[in-house]
Amino acid sequence: MRSLTQHAAPLLLDHFSSRQQYLAMLMGIGTTAEEWFRIEILGVLLKLPGVTVVGTNHRTQQGADRPDFTLTWNNHALLVELKVLPQDKNYRYGWQRFLASPNNRKDFNSVVAGTRSGVIYIHWADEDDWRACRSKIEAMFEVECLQEDVLPCASSSVVFSYWVAKINTGSA
């Protein structure tokens, strides 16, 4: 996931920079539009040599705990979760919405447990709200943000972040 992030993140930022009108519209109507992001991200990932899309959470057995993306990157299997969380009418801040859903916590716990390779988290609100969300994630889970890209959009920002489990560097 670290190598994939290094190669894919700049392409994803460039791709979504060209779609700021769509992002502004999605922000304006308050939708997560996770399916739209999934399609756009898959399109970008397929441009990278060495990436194969094995499946998405729509192509496997219903009811199973399925990752959003099942990929191979240079012959390494990656199971990646996608989180797309804007502010909404029920929560004043995006970080509150993140904390309110057990699925969000489950996905980060899966990264820590090693059953997922990483999380691509797309957050939109103001940058202060993102910083609060990021600090809550870092306090709650043994994960690290590999990269964070901020895309100004409309009257707010969209933050693309890429998360993996922390590497334990301590010795026994």
CA quadruple 128, 132, 133, 135: dihedral sign: positive
Contacts of 122 (CB under 8 A, 6+ apart): 37, 82, 83, 84, 85, 158, 159, 160, 161
Kindly report the pTM of this predicted structure: 0.89
Cβ–Cβ < 8 Å for 53, 63: no
pLDDT (tens place) for every residue of the chain, 172 residues total: 999 999 999 999 999 999 888 888 877 776 667 888 888 999 999 999 999 988 787 655 556 678 899 999 999 999 999 998 776 667 777 778 788 888 888 999 999 999 999 999 998 777 888 898 899 999 999 999 999 999 988 778 889 999 999 987 555 4
Number of other CB atoms surrounding residue 53 within 10 Å: 13
Contacts of 84 (CB under 8 A, 6+ apart): 32, 33, 34, 37, 122
